[in-house]
Amino acid sequence: MVPAAGVGTAGVSMTRQLSPNAGYGGWTDLGGAITDYPAASLDPSGALVTMTVTRRVRGDG
């Protein structure tokens, strides 16, 4: 996983590809903090799904 510039440094962030063979949109900070066991897999539609153990950071909704 690559950290996103301008997004939280220890939390979970995401971006989406705009269309096949196209660029990606902006990064969205999902909150939390990765504490252990990051993993990734493809779902049946071919989308990348990531999982990790996280902890809530005080102030996260």
Would 43 be classed as within a structural domain? yes
Token pair 């590809």 is found at: 17
pLDDT tens track for 1-13:
444 444 555 677 8
Would 36 be classed as within a structural domain? yes
In Å, how far from its chain's centre is CA 4? 9
* Contact predicate 54/37, CB 8 Å: no
Would 27 be classed as within a structural domain? yes
Token pair, residue 10, equals: 């220890």
Average pLDDT of the segment spanning 13-18: 85
Is 50 exceeded by the pLDDT of residue 34?
A: yes
Which residues, at least 6 apart from 59, have a Cβ–Cβ distance to it below 8 Å?
A: none
**DSSP-derived 3-state class of residue 57:** coil
Would 25 be classed as within a structural domain? yes
pTM: 0.48
Would 21 be classed as within a structural domain? yes
Would 18 be classed as within a structural domain? yes
The domain in which residue 25 lies consists of 12-55
Would 4 be classed as within a structural domain? no
Would 61 be classed as within a structural domain? no
Q: Domain tally for the chain? A: 1
